[in-house]
Structure 1
Amino acid sequence: MNTRSAEQNYIATLDLLRLAAALAVVFFHYFFRGAAAEGYLAQGYPLAAPFALYGYLGVNLFFLISGFVIAWSAENRSWDQFAIARFVRLYPGFLFCMTITFAVLTLAGTPLLPAPFSQYVANLSMFAPVFGQPFMDGVYWSIVLELVFYGWITLALFTGLFQKRKLELIFIWLAISALNEFFIGSGGARLLFLTEFGPFFAAGVLVHHIHSHGRSVPALLLLAAAFLISCGTLSVTQRWMLGHYGIAVSSANLVLANAVMHAALIGAVLLRHRVRASALTLALGGLTYPLYLLHQEIGYLAINAATPLVGKWIAALGCVVLMLFISWAIWRTCERPVQRLLRFWLGRVVDAGRTRFHRPSAGAQPAE
């Protein structure tokens, strides 16, 4: 499987933006959600909560970044190469972190965070609710949406539409998203077509398209439409915050935050040559996935245990530092080596199949 040079296929600023998104979600969980309606934390953080509540939007920022990265990854890959690359990127880290979470919750034996073995088995699929079990950690819901997005991209690559009709596909996707979110309200369509978060994925794809193929009126109009529709779909966030926590989030603040997120992605691409790729930026980007998967429920247990000893602020901030270190260690010693091994062996399978059926290589592929 061919690869580009490291300089061509790595944007350090995107890894820094990933870290910012992950930390935003961590701060949302530790300083707002943990002591809110669910009561996972014994003590709250009323001084930080009004700011931390916006950390929920870190998930939206992840989807923006994902749209860009996935479009880049897919551009010079066949559908099977893309599918393997996504599996290698997601599943090893998920398996490690989900297993660690299960082990910690089982040992803790907290009634508020039960973890029966049947739940662990169901979560091995990454689609635990399909088997009547909750996610091992609540953050996994966004991974399911990522997988649905990957499925659509794989289908578009298989049919050749991604290469030939990308902008038309995005137009249809945005139209379906707007119709469902603003008029129909179908839960099934929301999951199948990602209508709530689709505009964020689509905006990322469009930023990549403009970055790779130059500005065009259709692409710029679609990007503007994606931004406007995403502003509208944030009303779902408003209703969720009001229903779960009794907090009325300002529409103006959400639109402003959305504009900042879109600008941050564009800025990360424009400033890609200002930040040199290094072992540090690679590590900071690498640890974001384990950090996202691990931090919430284990973090609640750790903060509750440490608060009586060191106080709630040191407990929470210390937990952030600890989670960063543990996430780096998992990426460095477990996830990364397994990814390399899987990429090698599965790549050989794809190449063997291509040789057998006399299919030409798809050419160079970007790194993950």
Structure 2
Amino acid sequence: MVVKSSARAIPLDILRVFAALWVLVHHWISRDGLARNLQQPYDVSWVPGWIVAAAAPGFLGVDLFFILSGIVISRSAIGRSWSEFAVARFCRLYPAYAVAIALAILFAPITLINYPPLSQSILGITGLQWFVGAPTIVGPAWTLFLEVQFYLLITILLLVFGKLTSQQLRNAAKVWCLVLLLAPSLQLPWLNFLAISEFGPYFALGMLLGLCNSKEELRSDLPAILVLLALSCVRIVARLSEASSVPQHELFAIFMLLGVLYIVYLCAKADFFGRFRNIVNPSALMSYPIYLLHEPLGMPAIGALVAYGFSPKTSFLIAGGVLFFVCWLCVKYYEPMARRLLSEKLFKKSETGQLN
């Protein structure tokens, strides 16, 4: 059974929330990344072993985000001009990103051992640091560069071919599948760009899954879907191998992802989430600022609370509450206002009602 787009919104939102929280827990209890750069480190030995095991492959929440992005963005591109699409994507990404950069710049001197020079940090507000090789002060924001590449590919399609139908976007995804198969062997710069740093299969897979709205379309796209699924699994295994030498984590992560996807599918089929729409939708909107802010805001807050005498467990709870409250304020008040101003003042056209 292929679930129609209207019925898929809540399951996709559930997956967004799961991915954001999986990344958050992974970073908050890991010894890598920002944890090694905190002036006030905190103890995580109290965390139960099963949570540590579940969180170890939590960086794969990013991979899940890329697939979800392929689903959502391809559907949002249907029937839009290239300018409408580009404006909507910019207004969706930039406001929360700007807040994350500003908070990171503000707190870095008092929370981090090493941090980029102020000039490079300010450059991060523009996003140009990715193009000149400068560091990004908000660690999780590295994924936005890949997201922007995907948006750029869709924008180029719309610019060249005009407003596209679902069928045309599915055909483009199939061509992209072929390019992704050829890119590793041909080693051509433009093909490497289309591969999006080896994360391209996730976006292309999401495109085909998001645009299949009938059994007939699914059967037609199944060969390409299987190829992209295989390429995605190869990428997942490679990332797990790079991050950990414990084989159990690889199996655990793959079965966990499959289990979550299957549970969400069953719940969607039974329309289980319909009664929770008023809770799920706002939580899904918060998943993006949670993803960006959980490192520059959440982790230093935990360290500071521990330094002031709070227990690690209490510090986690307080920092989590503060993070979620800030993200709620961001989604409730700041982001709608920022998007309206951006679309009306900078682009002279309001797209706030169509942002996804």
Which residue does 1:25 correspond to in 2?
23
CA distance 1:63–1:301, change in 2 (3 Å): same
Give 3-state SS (helix, strand or coil) of 2:56's partner: helix
Encode CA deviations 1:24-50: one digit per residue, 9 max, x unaligned: 110010012458983643423463322
Which residue does 1:4 correspond to in 2?
none
Which residue does 1:240 correspond to in 2?
242
Which residue does 1:360 correspond to in 2?
none
Contact 2:344 / 2:350 at 8 angstroms: preserved in 1?
A: no
Q: Does 1:144 align with 2:142?
A: no
Cα displacement (A) at 1:174: 2.5
CA distance 1:314–1:34, change in 2 (3 Å): farther
CA distance 1:211–1:280, change in 2 (3 Å): same
CA distance 1:277–1:82, change in 2 (3 Å): farther
Contact 1:241 / 1:248 at 8 angstroms: preserved in 2?
A: no
Aligned partner letter, 1:32: S
Aligned partner letter, 1:24: W
Which among 94, 98, 103 is matched to residue 95 of structure 1? 98
Residue-pair matches, total: 343
Contact 2:13 / 2:281 at 8 angstroms: preserved in 1?
A: yes
2: CA distance, partners of 1:109 / 1:251: 33
Q: Does 1:341 align with 2:328?
A: no
What is the identity percentage for the equivalent residue pairs of Structure 1 and Structure 2?
25
2: CA distance, partners of 1:292 / 1:122: 21
TM-score, with length taken from structure 1:
0.80
CA distance 1:253–1:177, change in 2 (3 Å): farther
Give 3-state SS (helix, strand or coil) of 1:215's partner: helix
Aligned-residue CA RMSD in angstroms?
Answer: 3.3
How do 1:1-368 residues align onto structure 2 when only pairs under 5 Å count? 11-34=9-32, 38=36, 40=38, 41-45=41-45, 47=49, 48-106=51-109, 108=110, 110-112=112-114, 114-160=115-161, 163=165, 165-180=168-183, 192-194=194-196, 196-211=198-213, 215-242=217-244, 247-248=246-247, 250-260=249-259, 262-263=261-262, 270=269, 274-275=273-274, 278-308=277-307, 309-345=309-345, 348-349=348-349, 367-368=355-356
Aligned partner letter, 1:210: C
Relative to structure 2, which stretch is displaced further, 133-142 or 265-274? 265-274
CA distance 1:56–1:191, change in 2 (3 Å): farther
Contact 1:12 / 1:281 at 8 angstroms: preserved in 2?
A: yes
Give 3-state SS (helix, strand or coil) of 1:275's partner: helix
CA distance 1:110–1:255, change in 2 (3 Å): closer
Aligned partner letter, 1:43: D
Encode CA deviations 1:147-194: one digit per residue, 9 max, x unaligned: 00000011111222854643343233223334445x578898555422
Contact 2:343 / 2:349 at 8 angstroms: preserved in 1?
A: no
Q: Which runs of 5+ in 1 are unaligned?
A: 1-6, 352-364
Cα displacement (A) at 1:80: 0.9
Give 3-state SS (helix, strand or coil) of 2:212's partner: helix
Relative to structure 2, which stretch is displaced further, 341-350 or 280-289? 341-350
TM-score, with length taken from structure 2:
0.83
Q: Which runs of 5+ in 2 are unaligned?
A: none
Contact 1:177 / 1:198 at 8 angstroms: preserved in 2?
A: yes
2: CA distance, partners of 1:198 / 1:275: 32
Contact 1:80 / 1:350 at 8 angstroms: preserved in 2?
A: no
Contact 2:177 / 2:201 at 8 angstroms: preserved in 1?
A: yes
CA distance 1:33–1:304, change in 2 (3 Å): same
2: CA distance, partners of 1:185 / 1:138: 28
